[in-house]
A and B are shown apart, each in its own frame.
Chain A
Amino acid sequence: EVQLVESGGGLVQPGGSLRVSCVASGFTFSSYWMSWVRQAPGKGLEWVANIKQDGTEKYYVDSVKGRFTISRDNAKNSLYLQMNSLRAEDTAVFYCGRVVGANYFDYWGQGTLVTVSS
């Protein structure tokens, strides 16, 4: 059974940093692109970043470029999102997602809530 389990969310002050993690199981993690998608409270879905199987390619939505860094550790079946210079508008549930066929998200974690507030 494919499972994605996020962790690391919490309350952080504006300008602060946080790293969220996602542990994968039930599939060959190193064979898939992976992504982070977020959802602000009461709002829609927003893709944040994705990373190639070997970590050599990474892409970001414009609003997080230069502040967020996606990474992975295939030996640990883990995906990470390092978030720096956090803003109130980054408050959201962050989901990790497995990318299938390079185009879509076929499995999602349950999400971890990041709240940026003083």
Chain B
Amino acid sequence: EIVLTQSPATLSLSPGERATLSCRASQSVSSYLAWYQQKPGQAPRLLIYDASNRATGIPARFSGSGSGTDFTLTISSLEPEDFAVYYCQQRTNWPPIFTFGPGTKVDIK
């Protein structure tokens, strides 16, 4: 079973600042990693897939990088609507089961 670890648990920043979120896998997931944003009372939203591809409609300030076991989600300049919880997610090759990281909360400093 692949375990995803996210750090930090909470990131306190101001609007306009750069946010750097980390996701580490217990074994290589190649580039098969996604990032989601979730706001209170809402369903998650896909931001990044295959480690670095932005999903449809996602602003360019969101970028993803990494491969193997270490991945990063970067928000270049935080907008007020970006304060939320962010989860990484991967799927094992076989059987096709999915796991999520525990999440990083980005809150307003």
Contact = CB atoms under 8 A, between A and B. Distances in A.
A106 interface: yes
Contacts of A47: 97-100
Interface of B is mostly: strand
A102 B100 contact: no
A35 B87 CA distance: 17
Interface residues of A, number: 22
Interface string B2-44: 0000000000000000000000000000001010101000011
Given A45-B44, A59-B95, A104 B89 contact: yes
Secondary structure of the A contact surface, majority rule: strand
Interface residues on B, range: 20 to 34
B37 to A, nearest CB: 11
Contacts, number: 59
B49 interface: yes
A74 B97 CA distance: 22
B108 interface: no
Contacts of B96: 33, 50, 59, 102
A53 B101 CA distance: 26
A70 to B, nearest CB: 13
Interface in B71-109: 87, 89-91, 95-103
